[in-house]
Structures are given as structure tokens and as C-alpha cells.
Amino acid sequence: MTDALSIARDLIRCPSVTPADAGALDVLENLLKAAGFAVHRVTFSEPGTADIDNLYARIGNSAPHITFAGHTDVVPAGDEAAWSVGAFSGEVRGGYLYGRGAVDMKGGIACSVAAVLGYLKDRGVKPREDGKGSISFLITGDEEDVSVNGTVKLLQWAAAAGEKFDHCVLGEPSNQEAMGDCIKIGRRGSQSGTLIVEGVQGHVAYPHRAQNPVPDIARLIVALSDEPLDHGSAQFQPSNLEFTSVDVGNSATNVIPGQARARFNIRYNDLHTQESLRELVEERVAKVAGNRMRAHIEWQPSNSNVFLTKPGPFTDLAVAAIEEVTGRKPELSTTGGTSDARFIAGYCPVIEFGLVGQTMHQIDERAAVADIEKLTRIYRGILERYFG
């Protein structure tokens, strides 16, 4: 069966908890090969990480080239006894498809595959035969974990093979409450670090012989938290710095610690680059610390950079397709966490649009069958408008 619901059920029945594939990519490979796609299975590895199987499939050899991206790996089911149905059963009950990945994001992949196969069948010719462009799929298996051997390397592999993408639709569950309420056109960047204040360890009864870093780090935490990084931009909400832990590594009550550490994360908008953001925070630390405190920041490596697909013809055609099916004009949003779109944005404009994300990663993750049907029709509408 090549309808979206059947494909989604087949994918859910593969317990592909990262890094396992469990046959999920085989399901897609068989469907796409039968439709005439050239399918490549590419495995990437790196010391200290699990090998990850990925899939790239393309039909057509001319521009414009639209690619549908996604991931078949899922988070663990959690307490499977707490599920109303088997976490990997793909059962339909009460108008909902249940199972880990139903929303995030095997359901979205199934809709894109069903839409593409239906579009090609109804058009009667393959894109490469009528010169009207190309369609491809970029599917990874490690988005829910460290994202090392998946989309990043698959994009690099594709570029080295001469593949060029004009636009991308990533099927992440972008809708908040109902189908058609939100398209993600960008994401804020993410940067983590540790604020470290050095002191001098000593006995609490002789504070003049020590230097307590705890009050100092408290002052720095308040100063960094109170002063806004910015006030937002045309497409993004304000950047925010949030402290997530404070630690002195001290189990004794009669010892002044020699060091205090505070971990933080910043979600930043397009008013900053990673480099300018780090400089800004370090300048503020130096200003408060002065000559009295010995403070510095250890920055963690980050590949979560800010990106934005500017509104234009591509977003317009997506909005039109969504509005036609749902009757809603979606918000063009840049809120939320990170996704693989941050990697894809370096190769082509990308939007995120998928199912309603309310139950993703939860017990009894589920997608309305009606929403699966709507999303398939929306993707079909995008294709029809894209190839005109």
C-alpha cells in the first residue's frame, strides 16, 4: 500500500530507536525504487559514535530540485506498559494512529512519500522525462541523538556527488494546536558555556585567608541574567541566556570552596553570530568582574547556528497549499528548539511543516488520521505549485 497511513504504520512497526534502523529505511527504499527513484544507502561512522544508516533518493536530473527531508529514528518508548497500545504497533484507534514516531516524524515522512508517489503517478511521466525538475528524499537515522553521522554528513556526501538542492521541506511537527497554524522558516541558534570563577580555598573561620567565589559567581549570574542580550529582530524573538546549574563541588560546611561553576545556554537570534555573541558575553563578564574577580567562560562547541528562510515565492506557495487544504493561513514562525533544518539551510532555503506536535516524545504519541490525510494533500499542493 502506498497511501500515507499504510506507510506510516509500516514505519512505526520498525522500532528504530536511535541508532537502530530496524528496517525503517528498507520500507522507504522498496517504495521509492519501485517508483523509479535512484536510491542510495550511505552509512557514516565516527570514533566513539554508532554507525548510522542514511538514505538519499532522487528522481529527475534537471532543475528545479525540491527535496523532502526527515528522520526515521525515534526516541525510546519509555514505560511501554503505560501505553494504551503497543508503542511500535502502529495501531489505529478512535481516528488516531498510535506509536512512537507517529508525529515525530515517521508520519510526516509517510505523507511526503505518499504525496510524491501520487503526484508522479497522476502526472504519468517521470520528472527527468518531461524536463520539469527533480524530487528527492534526504532521510537520516540519528536526528534524535548527537546528529553526527546523519544529515550533516549526508549533505556533504550529496554535495560531493554533485547534488544541488533548490528548496527543501522538512517534515518536523511544526504545527502547535491544529494543522495549518505554523510554518517554521527559521530557528534561533544555540550556544552553551560554563562560567567559572576562581577563588582561594580556606577555613570558614578565617575568611581573610581565603577568597570565596560563591558571592562573586552569584553577582555575575544576576548581572548576565538581568541585562537583555537584545530586544528581538524582524523575524526573531529576543535572545535569552538561561543558567541551568551552579556547582562548587563542596560537601563540607566549614570549607570555603576554591572554585564555582555555573552552566548556561543561550538561544540567540539573527542579530548575532556565534563569534559576536561570545564576545558580547565575555565583555559583560569582564565588566562586572573588574580586577577583583578571576572569572572566565569555557564555551562548548556548537553547530546549532541561527538560520532564516526569508519570506518569498517558496514560502508563499507553501502558505497557499496549506490554506487551500486547512482554511488557515499559517504563521511564519522562528520559535522553538533546533532541528536538522539548521544544517540544510547551508545548502538551500528550507521550511519545516509537518503534523501537530502536541504528543511528540510522550506516552501514547499519536497523530489524527485526518491530519495525515491533510498533510499528504498539502505536500501534493506544494508539488503542483512548485512545478507549476
pLDDT, one tens digit per residue, over 279-296 is 999 999 999 999 999 999
Is residue 57 over pLDDT 80?
yes
CA distance 192 to 266: 6
pLDDT, one tens digit per residue, over 246-256 is 999 999 999 99
Decide: residue 328, CB within 10 A, 0-12 exposed, 13-18 middle, 19+ buried.
middle
To which residue does cell 527543501 refer?
168
Q: What is the pLDDT of residue 1?
A: 53
DSSP string, 224-289: HHHS-S----SSSPPPEEEEEEEE-----SSEE-SEEEEEEEEEE-TT--HHHHHHHHHHHHHHHH
Is residue 272 over pLDDT 70?
yes
Confidence of residue 303 (pLDDT cuts 50, 70, 90): confident
CA distance 210 to 215: 13
CA distance 149 to 143: 9
Each as own residue / partner, the long-range contacts of residues 329-333 (CB below 8 Å, 24 or more positions apart, any chain) are: 329/180, 330/175, 330/180, 330/181, 330/182, 330/183, 331/181, 331/182, 331/183, 332/183, 332/185, 332/235, 333/174, 333/182, 333/183, 333/184, 333/185
pLDDT, one tens digit per residue, over 333-379 is 999 888 999 999 999 999 999 999 999 999 999 999 999 999 999 99
Q: What is the pLDDT of residue 28?
A: 98
Please give the average per-residue pLDDT across 43-61, as a whole number: 94
48: its cell numbers? 566513539
Q: What is the pTM of this model?
A: 0.89
Is residue 208 over pLDDT 80?
yes
Is residue 127 over pLDDT 60?
no
To which residue does cell 501520487 refer?
118
Round the CA-based radius of gyration of the chain to a whole number and report it: 24
Confidence of residue 124 (pLDDT cuts 50, 70, 90): confident
Ranges for all domains in the chain classified under CATH 3.40.630.10: 4-187+306-387
pLDDT, one tens digit per residue, over 227-251 is 999 999 999 999 999 999 999 999 9
Strand order, beta sheet including 182-184: 38-44, 52-59, 134-140, 65-71, 167-170, 350-352, 182-184, 331-333
Please give the average per-residue pLDDT across 138-155, as a whole number: 93
Amino acid at 258: G
Ranges for all domains in the chain classified under CATH 3.30.70.360: 190-299
CA distance 348 to 69: 12
Confidence of residue 130 (pLDDT cuts 50, 70, 90): low
Q: Which residues are catalytic?
A: 73, 143
Confidence of residue 128 (pLDDT cuts 50, 70, 90): very low
Is residue 193 over pLDDT 90?
yes
**Which architecture does CATH list for 4-187+306-387?**
3-Layer(aba) Sandwich (3.40)
3-state secondary structure of 332: strand
The overall average pLDDT reported for the chain is: 95
Q: What is the pLDDT of residue 9?
A: 98
Q: What is the pLDDT of residue 20?
A: 96
Residues 6 or more apart from 222 whose CB is under 8 A from it? none
Q: How many CB atoms within 10 Å of residue 358? A: 15
* Range 190-299 has CATH code 3.30.70.360: yes
Q: What is the pLDDT of residue 22?
A: 97
DSSP string, 133-185: -EEEEEEES-TTTT-SSSHHHHHHHHHHTT---SEEEE----BSSSTTSEEE-
Q: What is the pLDDT of residue 126?
A: 56
